[in-house]
Amino acid sequence: MHRALMVGVGKWEFGPMDIENPFPNNEGSVNVWQGDEDRIMPVTVQRYIAKKLPWIKYHI
């Protein structure tokens, strides 16, 4: 849990929103599964990221 928290709130060397689509030919996607009662990472943050990066499929 500690490491997950450090990843979530720690300083990154890049902006997550700057990640380029690793599937430029739509041959795949990244699936994010999250419980709607998650108290570590707000659901609104994950939804925002999934809207901005269309190759991410978000599931609750």
- Provide the pLDDT for residue 55: 92
Q: How far is CA 41 from the centre of its chain?
A: 10
Q: Which residues contact 43 (CB under 8 A, 6 or more apart)?
A: 34, 36, 60
- Provide the pLDDT for residue 2: 67
SS3 41: coil
> pLDDT tens across 3-17, in order?
766 776 778 888 888
Is the pTM higher than 0.85? The answer reads no
> pLDDT tens across 10-48, in order?
788 888 889 999 998 989 999 989 887 887 778 888 889
- Provide the pLDDT for residue 27: 94
